[in-house]
């Protein structure tokens, strides 16, 4: 039998790669967590969490703007669970739940297509639509023509998840942040994962960009989530959290919805989120929320299995989960700091390949 290296030695190449990527300026710094359903096996911080207005070291407790991880950690699981519990059907047209869309092309869309980014919606509607009320926002979205025939191809769209936020809030009569706390964050016993950050935690939050002379720190980076209609709580963005708690979310998904002996999500919901829900003609594989195989799958790397799945976020965050290997990778950076967005496809792919190799050998 081949001998296995110690966990620390197995992950040496991954650590060196992340340290080098931070030193070169590709990212200011990073926090990585790699593990299995039973728990993490590697958790390290590299580089800086802030470069401006002054340098600050990255720490394991750094809180990040999780950006579009909001979709798979909050909005998708809540919508899918409601459907499984019989609150509504994912085949329901949107107009059945959002009156502002009634009688429009958008209103006729089934909820399931919003979850897979195959509904025909544009990636983003005009920022001006977000400067009023939610009612006005939904009405404005409903007036937008569809970009393509629903169900025929993938166009990644934040708009669909904003509409799903509306479905959830109307159904439950309370804000998305409260629903998430009651049904996911609270039962998971998360302290640092929430929409926004507590005032006392702002100092350990990784800043993103400078807007109107002020560094965004604990304020959501996405301008639409930040605008008046959503006030920091979007179905597409707005959640903040640490690598440690994001890792615990991955462990819960690997555990079929169970974390620490507590059921957080229904096993059927986890299965629907993580297995392909797209028609073959679309040419990609996506679950209800999670990406499986598409142009956005660079965080799989070369070694995670074809059944693995995950998601990325604009600020520089990503997670990838492989049930075949009983493994996951959480890689959190604030790559938009200080000067804006960077292409991280190759960075994420290399980190994933090194992580998957270490999991096999460690």
Distances (CA, A) of 337 to 15, 53, 88, 223: 21, 11, 41, 15
Cα angle vertex 111, ends 133, 272, to 5°? 125
What is residue 9's predicted lDDT score, i.e. its pLDDT? 87
- What pLDDT score does 311 carry? 98
* Neighbour order of strands in the sheet with 239-241: 64-65, 239-241, 194-195
181 exposure class (CB count in 10 Å sphere: 0-12, 13-18, 19+): middle
List per-residue pLDDT tens for the chain, 362 residues long.
333 455 678 999 999 999 999 999 999 999 999 999 999 999 999 999 999 999 999 999 999 999 999 999 999 999 999 999 999 999 999 999 999 999 999 999 999 999 999 999 999 999 999 999 999 999 999 999 999 999 999 999 999 999 999 999 999 999 999 999 999 999 999 999 999 999 999 999 999 999 999 999 999 999 999 999 999 999 999 999 999 999 999 999 999 999 999 999 999 999 999 999 999 999 999 999 999 999 999 999 999 999 999 999 999 999 999 999 999 999 999 999 999 999 999 999 999 999 999 999 87
Rounded Cα–Cα distance for residues 347 and 333 (Å) = 11
What pLDDT score was predicted for residue 321?
98
pLDDT given for residue 63 in this prediction = 98
Provide the pLDDT for residue 7: 66
**How far lies 349's CA from each of 262, 303, 343, 355, 356, in Å?**
33, 10, 12, 10, 11
The predicted structure's pLDDT at residue 20: 98
How does DSSP assign 91-108, residue by residue?
A: TSBGGGT-GGGTTSTTTT
pLDDT score at 92: 98
């Amino acid at each position: 039998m081949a001998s296995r290296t110690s966990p620390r030695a197995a992950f040496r190449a991954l650590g060196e790669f992340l340290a080098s990527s931070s030193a070169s300026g590709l990212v200011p710094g990073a926090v990585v967590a790699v593990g299995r359903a039973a728990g993490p096996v590697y958790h390290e911080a590299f580089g800086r969490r802030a470069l401006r207005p002054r340098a600050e070291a990255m720490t394991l407790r750094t809180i990040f703007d999780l950006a579009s991880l909001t979709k798979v950690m909050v909005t998708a699981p809540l919508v899918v669970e409601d459907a499984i519990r019989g609150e509504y059907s994912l085949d329901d047209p949107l107009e059945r739940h959002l009156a502002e869309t009634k009688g429009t092309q958008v209103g006729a869309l089934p909820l399931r297509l919003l979850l897979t980014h195959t509904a025909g919606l544009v990636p983003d509607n005009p920022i001006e639509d977000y400067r009023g009320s939610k009612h006005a926002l939904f009405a404005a979205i409903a007036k937008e023509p569809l970009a393509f025939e629903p169900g025929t191809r993938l166009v990644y769209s934040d708009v669909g998840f904003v509409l799903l936020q509306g479905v959830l809030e109307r159904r439950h009569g309370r804000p998305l942040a409260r629903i998430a706390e009651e049904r996911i964050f609270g039962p998971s016993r998360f302290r640092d994962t929430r929409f926004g950050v507590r005032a006392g935690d702002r100092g350990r939050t990784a800043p993103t960009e400078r807007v109107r002379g002020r560094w965004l720190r604990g304020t959501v980076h996405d301008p639409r989530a930040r605008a008046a209609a959503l006030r920091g709580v979007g179905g597409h963005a707005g959640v903040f959290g640490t690598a440690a708690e994001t890792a615990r979310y991955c462990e819960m998904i690997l555990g079929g919805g169970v974390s620490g002996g507590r059921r957080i999500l229904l096993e059927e919901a986890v299965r629907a989120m993580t297995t392909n829900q797209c028609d073959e003609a679309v040419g990609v594989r996506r679950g209800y929320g999670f990406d499986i195989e598409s142009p956005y799958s660079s965080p799989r790397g070369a070694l995670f299995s074809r059944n693995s799945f995950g998601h990325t976020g604009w600020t520089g965050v990503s997670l990838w989960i492989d049930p075949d290997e009983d493994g996951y990778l959480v890689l959190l950076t604030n790559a938009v700091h200080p000067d804006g967005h960077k292409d991280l496809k190759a960075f994420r792919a290399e980190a994933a390949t090194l992580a998957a190799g270490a999991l096999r050998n460690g």
